[in-house]
Chain A
Amino acid sequence: MAAADRIYLRDAPAELLPAPMASTGVLGWVRANLFSSPLNIALTILCAALIVWIVPDLLRFFIFDAVWSGANREACLVSPQHPEPGACWPFVRVWSSYFVYGFYPVSERWRVDLFFTLLAFGIAWLAWLGAPRRDLGAVYFFIVLPIVSYILLSGWPMIGLADVPTSLWGGILVTIVVAIVGIVASLPLGILLALGRRSAMPAVRLASIAFIEFVRGVPLITVLFMASVMLPLFVPDRFAPDKLMRALIGVALFASAYMAEVVRGGLLSIPRGQYEAAQALGLPYWRMMILVILPQALRVTLPNIVNTSIGLFKDTTLVFIVGIFDFLRTIEAARGDPNWATPVTSVTGYAFAAVFYFVCCYGMSRYSRNVEARLARAQRR
């Protein structure tokens, strides 16, 4: 058979095809992630337009056109220097010590600073999962720190610390105190309630369920109202707690119901075999819980505990409504200062508060995500 008969055989080289579109490198990434289809192109343009519309204005307001120095409102009003004044940062600087300490006496503020330091030490000890003697850290955080802080902050004349009534406390100090008391009190209470909810004893179980469902069904504000208005009625006059203490009780009760549900989730994730093994070893109930079940349950729920704490931290702002000078309330009070009455004062104050809350909450959520990833790695092994 001659070669010419085999018509399906090519006798000239095929034309070169153009090189395929880059699927690697910057161009490939852009093509795959931003311009892969007509819809995607439209969305990309829309988003880019949104960013171009908002971001430059934000930067201008908070940085480039912002006023950075000055002694009173004059600095932040329209002037030849600032034809379009942005955020009024000197307002924050002037009021900053009020934002941190409230009306805490100036000569005693070292006590607050010391409290912040002790607290930071305790948090670092507990949060660093590889820290030495974390059991001692827990004792420090849940027992030593609350007692020492109470003596330090409210005073004990016997050892030379002047009394500082809680009505003078304010700002970030109060926000931190409310949040920490909420966490420190709600964890043990929440564990007890979670165990109670899974107890074999009907009275204990019903009481726990009733408490948890009741608290979770009502808004925090009503709990705070109850604590601040009704609590003084329920106890004899001479035991009536002060305003801050009432709010703390309300927050602690509220948080413990939510913590109980988180802990219960952890308890549910422990296989039955663990209980049975502990019982087979002859451990009674409490030793089984403390030595075998809770250490495992709390480890898997650590991310959820941190998430609940984030919610609690944000919820501390609600004490504002029952008249306590937390950080947000000090911002509100300072905002009304006639010395700084400008059109931008409110926005500046709120932006400052937002940055504070964002940094705290975002930090906690990053931490909880890290722990979660670490737990997932440990599970895969």
Chain B
Amino acid sequence: MSKGLQFAVRSKQQWANIALQVLLLLIIGGVIYAAFVNAATNLAKAGIASGFRFWDNTAGFDISQTLIYYSSSTSTFGRAFWVGLLNTLLVASLGIVLATALGFTIGIARLSRNWLVSHLAGGYVELVRNVPLLLQLLFWYNAVLKSLPELRGSIAVPGGAFLNNRGLFLPQPLFGSNFRYVVAALVLGIAATLALRLWGRRRQERTGEPPHTVYFGFGLIVALPLLVFFAAGAPLSFSFPEMARFNIRGGIEILPELAALLVALTIYTAAFIAEVVRAGILAVAPGQTEAAQALGLRSGSALRLVVVPQAMRVIVPPLTSQYLNLTKNSSLAVAIGYPDLVQVFAGSVLNITGQSVEVIAITMAVYLFISLITSMLMNLYGYRLRVVER
């Protein structure tokens, strides 16, 4: 049947479907148009400008944590946006690393044959998952960190750090100019290890001899940079925080807001990651372990070569969505005043400029962009790891 003919014999049902879709599009278009017209009149009435010209205007407000240069008197709203975005990315990436470490530990602990270990881990997961994140965040910030001693009574942490209700003060590493050789050695070591592994795997496929790259890799990644470090004259020193009368000088200051947000996000997300890990490991059929044993693999090799690769296939997609959740949840920062994207941009900038439509659209676009990029990478990963059936 040709295409034209199909068109000619469209049934009543098909015409109804087309009409329905046209109606839907008209309604959506109409709602958007009405919203647009209303917003224009309401904004004009309130005397609020529209458009993105505010981006280059001077911001004029302070931000408590800035990873890039920012000054309230000269920097623009656009600069404030980047400061907020970087703070969001900072807390999200630190949180992802910490939550993954804690989550995998607890997920494996839940499967332990030790009754006490598995039930302790289970209790952690149940407790943390059933209490709202915002409540946990407020608890860590208001009840724990804010009730730490004041500056005078700072707790001295071994290693030259101080802890008080203004934050955690850590020694700041100062890198000498020769430190770049150490970094170069590290990069070289990692590259050489990867190449060695590739070669080892090729050789194993050809001759069946298993590669012994672990010790070489350790030597290349850890020992080589260390060697270069001392050869270059140990180009690393620390600036230790010092107690002055009214403040602490030197060192890196970690704001209590950042610490509270990090602790809360890590603890909360770790509970969800633990469940993902547990489900992933349980999803590998016990027959797989038994088959590996029957082939003569030791339990460590069976785990590494048979169980983990299959479990990862199940774990990675929900794990990524937990990472995304963590990133989105970092917007709760606004409740305790950590200067993340939402607090700086959808908070301060919105209040000063009043341009809510533009500001919220930009904020949402950032999160959408992060989500879409991540799910694209995830699809790619899923495509590479798909089970290829014979």
Contact = CB atoms under 8 A, between A and B. Distances in A.
B356 A357 contact: no
A203 B24 contact: yes
Interface string B99-124: 00000000000001111110010000
Interface in A225-239: 225-226, 229-230, 232-237
B150 interface: no
B134 A225 contact: no
Interface in B252-309: none
A94 interface: no
B282 to A, nearest CB: 15
Given A34-B116, A201-B17, A332-B138, A354 B131 contact: yes
- Residue among B131, B139, B332, B356 with the most chain A CB within 10 A? B131
Nearest to A202: B21
What DSSP secondary structure best describes chain B's contact surface?
helix
A48 interface: yes
B113 A33 contact: yes
B313 interface: no
Interface stretch (B34-42, B55-63, B75-83, B222-230): B34-42
B116 A47 contact: yes
A47 B120 contact: yes
Contacts of A358: 127, 130-131
A343 to B, nearest CB: 7
A365 interface: yes
A189 to B, nearest CB: 15
B335 interface: yes
B132 A357 contact: yes
Contacts of B329: 219
A235 B39 CA distance: 7
Interface in B6-25: 17, 20-22, 24-25
A328 B364 contact: no
A162 B27 CA distance: 38
Contact of B364 (A218, A315, A350): A218
A279 interface: no
Nearest to A345: B143
A107 to B, nearest CB: 32
Interface string B336-362: 000000100010001000001100100
Nearest to B34: A234
Contacts of A221: 331-332, 334, 342, 346
Nearest to B18: A201
A321 B335 contact: yes
B138 A217 contact: no
B93 interface: no
B133 interface: yes
B116 A48 contact: yes
B112 A346 contact: no
A222 interface: yes
B322 to A, nearest CB: 13
A204 B335 CA distance: 38
Nearest to A314: B132
A43 B360 contact: no
A43 B117 contact: yes
B364 A222 contact: yes
B114 A34 contact: yes
A219 B42 contact: no
B126 interface: yes
A362 B130 CA distance: 6
A334 to B, nearest CB: 13
B142 interface: yes
A33 B115 contact: yes
Given A346-B143, A365-B130, A321 B334 contact: yes
B364 A226 contact: yes
Interface stretch (B188-196, B206-214, B238-246, B366-374): B366-374
B115 A203 contact: no
A148 to B, nearest CB: 29
B135 interface: yes
B112 A43 contact: yes
Contact of B114 (A33, A204, A235, A321): A33
Given A317-B132, A350-B143, A217 B356 contact: no
Contacts of B157: none
A318 B328 CA distance: 13
B132 A315 contact: yes
A27 interface: no
A100 B122 CA distance: 31
B331 A219 contact: yes
A192 B318 CA distance: 25
B43 interface: yes
A378 B139 CA distance: 43
B113 A318 contact: no
B363 interface: yes
A201 B332 contact: no
22 contacts: A43-B114, A44-B116, A48-B116, A50-B120, A203-B21, A204-B20, A217-B368, A217-B371, A218-B328, A221-B331, A221-B346, A225-B346, A310-B130, A314-B133, A317-B133, A320-B134, A328-B134, A328-B135, A350-B142, A354-B131, A357-B131, A361-B130
Given A207-B25, A233-B42, A314-B131, 16 more contacts: A33-B114, A33-B116, A36-B114, A47-B120, A51-B120, A201-B21, A214-B368, A218-B368, A230-B39, A233-B43, A237-B42, A320-B335, A332-B138, A354-B135, A361-B131, A362-B126
Q: Which 4 A-B pairs have the closest CB atoms?
A: A217-B371, A203-B21, A361-B130, A234-B35
Interface of A: 33-34, 36, 40, 43-44, 47-48, 50-51, 200-204, 207, 214, 216-222, 225-226, 229-230, 232-237, 310, 314-315, 317-318, 320-321, 328, 332, 335, 343, 346-347, 350, 353-354, 357-358, 361-362, 365
